[in-house]
Amino acid sequence: MKIPVVIAGAGPVGLTLALDLARRGIRCLVVERNPSTTRHPKMDITNSRSMELFRAIGITESLRAAAVPPSHAFDVSWITNFVGEELHRFAYPSVDEMRRRILEKNDGTMPLEPPMRVSQVVIEPVLRMHAERSPLIDLRFSTTFERFEERENGVTVVLRDTGTENRTTVECRYVVGCDGGGSVVRQQLGIDLEGSPRVMERFMTHFRSPEKDLLMRWGVAWHYQSVYGTLIAQNDEDVWTLHSRFPDTKTVEEAPQELLRRFIGRDIEAEILVANPWTPHLLVARSYAKRRVFLAGDAAHQYIPTGGYGMNTGIGDATNLSWKLAAVLHGFAGESILQSYDAERRPIGKRNLEASGRNNDVRKEIGALYTAELFEDGPSGDAARGRVSAEMKRIGNLENEAWGIEHGYVYAESPVVCAEAGASINTDPAVYEPTTVPGARLPSIFLKDGAALYDRLGPWLTLISFGPSDHAGYFEEAARIRGVPLRVLTIDEPELVSIYQAPLLLVRPDHHVAWRGSSIADMAAAARVIGRTLGWYGHIWSK
């Protein structure tokens, strides 16, 4: 069997990579050792940047249909327990309210899509459904990725059917390991992880309970938190997940009820769906690629849940790599573009690792505020709870407000963007400052006709011209001669230059700016810009 791309792992990252390759006309084989999608809830937030990328793929409606209703808020509440008191609530808008704010503001500071509350148990079947509908995706569960052998012009992969034990050999051009923290692909590549393993020991209790009145006694909240862990409302009805410290004195069988009792404050009626200990890490691979083999998602980086950076960073990996692989396979990008995957994504992986660690430190700081006084009745208890509430407000909740982390990352050092020496880049994790410095995510706005700018972008390169420009023709001609798919998007709203900082922008398929300017000298100069963006680095494009 021959196929362009083999993907190991059919979790959210592997399936997203497959779907984005398919929409670009590239066939792929996705193999997953498990018999079906996950039973474990794992992630519980798809952030707004991931939703922008899912919108480009065309699957946001079906994803949101499976998620928590759009009228429900994203509040985070710190409590003593559910028979005690709420200490402090960080209020965050619902999807519906967020959409209203996005349209009202419309100045480039907001995302195109609100985030989405959904468990990995729910999101994976939706992604699987879309993958199974695509004639370009061969999706195989109960299939183990055993090993690969790289050759000069491709890779030979050996797969094993876990039911029959039959082995199959597949010839492909590229392999992508999206096979999780214990990645077989990463291990065979010999790529080590760096960072902090075994940051803590945790226990997950995923359960169904009819006691909604108790578990939502202070209203809808996405997370309820205390010194004893975090309770996630998975559907705001009857499914919940508690993450807490593993009690050394209990067995795995005994732990769920004990941990629920400790967090909630009394016994509740609960059907345990899944329960197990797990060990979070703060690790990143020393390299994301070797020649024709790449790593994405948890195979490349492993975070603790604080901030929700795990899957969301992986979606960024997948959509960064997919268009580059597809462009090479279609023949209009040079293979050198693939080297930019590690150059662009690994710094983001390291940055998000550090942010996740800082968020965990904040959780520890708040946890240290829990003293016996908080659980007392009467004036002394009230006073203690008042002091702690004020301190929680002061400390804040950056992990759920880090717009700079979600939208402010810039591939400033990438070899495939036309970098600007001395360009100012805001690296504050809390602040997203709209910019079109090459390497940055294109700011999102709605145009006068009501259309989202992102929805007007082409599937490949897009040249945006704010108003008519003779210079756009240079790019159009350079792309035509060299067979590069380029959409020229003329927007007769010159006032938008104040947001987009230049009248001409070359935008990549992943919404990142490759080049900006007020003019271009001639077609040869335009060809060099396009050539650099596609990994040719100008050596054949300047002729």
pLDDT digits (tens, 9 = 90+) for 173-189: 999 999 999 999 999 99
199 vs 35, more confident: 35
The pLDDT tens digits for 467-493 are 888 899 999 999 999 999 999 999 999
Please, what CATH class does the domain formed by 410-533 belong to?
alpha beta
- CA–CA separation, 278 vs 275, rounded Å? 10
Residues 283-311 have a mean pLDDT of 96
Given this model, what pLDDT does residue 343 score? 98
Give the per-residue pLDDT at 540.
Answer: 45
Q: For the residues 482-505, what does the mean pLDDT come to?
A: 95
CA-CA distance, 442 to 435, in Å (whole number)?
7
Confidence at residue 467, expressed as pLDDT on a 0 to 100 scale: 85
Q: What pLDDT is recorded for position 542?
A: 45
CA–CA dist 363, 227 (Å, integer): 9
To the nearest 10°, the Cα dihedral for 158, 161, 166, 171?
Answer: -30
Is the pLDDT at 205 greater than 90, yes or no?
A: yes
Question: How many angstroms separate the first and last alpha carbons of the chain?
Answer: 39
Single pTM value for the model: 0.96
Distances (CA, A) of 109 to 52, 83, 234, 239, 457: 14, 41, 29, 34, 19
Q: How confident is the model at residue 238 (pLDDT cuts 50, 70, 90)?
A: very high
Please tell me the predicted confidence (pLDDT) of residue 43.
86
Q: Report the 10 Å Cβ neighbour count for 25.
A: 11
Q: Binning pLDDT at 50, 70 and 90, where does residue 366 land? A: very high
Is the Cβ–Cβ distance between 228 and 247 less than 8 Å? no
Q: What is the DSSP track for 250-272?
A: S-TTTHHHHHHHHHHSS----EE
Mean per-residue pLDDT over the chain, rounded: 95
Beta carbons of 286 and 307 less than 8 angstroms apart: no
How far is the C-alpha of 196 from the C-alpha of 284, rounded, in Å? 9
User: Please, which contacts does 381-386 make with residues 24 or more away whose CB atoms are closer than 8 Å?
Assistant: 385/80, 385/85, 385/87
Is pLDDT of 61 > 90?
yes
Q: Residue 200: what pLDDT?
A: 85
User: Taking the CB of residue 153, how many other CB atoms lie within 10 A of it?
Assistant: 8
- Choose among 271, 251, 255: nearest CA to 263: 255
With 60 as the cut, is the pLDDT of residue 543 above it? no
Superfamily of domain 68-117+201-278+369-401: D-Amino Acid Oxidase, subunit A, domain 2 (3.30.9.10)
pLDDT above 90 (res 247): no
- Beta pairing, strands 155-161 & 116-117: unpaired
Domain boundaries, the chain: 2-67+118-196+283-356, 68-117+201-278+369-401, 410-533
**pLDDT in the model for residue 249:** 61
Q: Can you spell out the DSSP letters for 216-246?
A: TTT---SEEEETTEEEEESSSSSEEEEEEEP
| Percent of the chain scoring above 70 in pLDDT | 98
Q: What is the pLDDT of residue 333?
A: 97
Gap between the Cα atoms of 302 and 295, Å rounded: 12
pLDDT at position 454 over 90: yes
- Going by pLDDT thresholds of 50, 70 and 90, the confidence category of residue 199 is confident
CATH of domain 2-67+118-196+283-356: 3.50.50.60
